[in-house]
Amino acid sequence: MIGTNQTCGTGQDSMPYMTCLVHILEGWFGVEQLEDYLNFANYLLWVFTPLILLILPYFTIFLLYLTIIFLHIYKRKNVLKEAYSHNLWDGARKTVATLWDGHAAVWHGYEVHGMEKIPEEGPALIIFYHGAIPIDFYYFMAKIFIHKGRTCRVVADHFVFKIPGLFRWLYEKFRYPFAPMYGGFPVKLRTYLGDPIPYDPKITAEELAKKTKDAVQALIDKHQRIPGNIMSALLERFHKKQKIN
């Protein structure tokens, strides 16, 4: 409360304006030591303002990406609705594939060149050469399921049995090639499919492996820029210029 020898007016015994205002508010709301509460609130504001300024922009970007992915899924609502009406499991798989396809489009501008080379039916082996993390293969599987209605089965190399510690245990437990992930920059990702290699019973397995290896190496030489550069890969999101053979 205001002392008897102090007033809120001007003069020798007058109080500072803010102190006077605090005392008036204390009288109105019936709260004592309101100034301490205001000081504590000011302290919290001082502590959390930097966090808000740092987190809010990232949250806004995350919300934008989430909105685009939602619209990407909503665009295929009729396809998903039809899939769920026929088979619940098929609808769930198409939903997951659409979600991955949306993430691929938003985060990496993912493209597949040569999708028409995948047969509509019958067996086929896809020898896949992927980057530092296998996330592009997940994108590729989603594309195949959406556009071809076909699912892929992963065949792992013997190297996975040599992975030490946790990753080997995970593989033996779930039969899935887990690997530590790094990178993840929103660079441009493209998958190029080469010409099919028809089955020839006259050649040996070693000859077929050599033929396949040469075909994969030809795709690498044609489309992969060496040495790689993160900045140029990021800029490819905005420029469609590709490596010329």
User: How crowded is residue 103: how many other Cβ atoms within 10 Å of its Cβ?
Assistant: 19
Active site residues: 130
CA distance 47 to 41: 10
Q: What secondary structure does DSSP assign to 185-236, as a single string? A: -----EEE--------TTS-HHHHHHHHHHHHHHHHHHH--SS--HHHHHHT
Radius of gyration for the chain, computed over Cα atoms and rounded to the nearest angstrom: 31
How far is it, in rounded angstroms, from Cα 243 to Cα 223?
Answer: 6
Helix axes 88-103, 135-148, angle to 10 degrees: 130
Q: Are strands 190-192 and 111-113 parallel, antiparallel or unpaired?
A: parallel
Instruction: Find out whether 124 and 153 touch, Cβ atoms under 8 Å.
Output: no
Residue 181, SS3 per DSSP: coil
Distance, in Å, from the CA atom of 164 to the CA atom of 178, rounded to the nearest integer, reads 11
The CA distance from 102 to 81, in Å, is 17
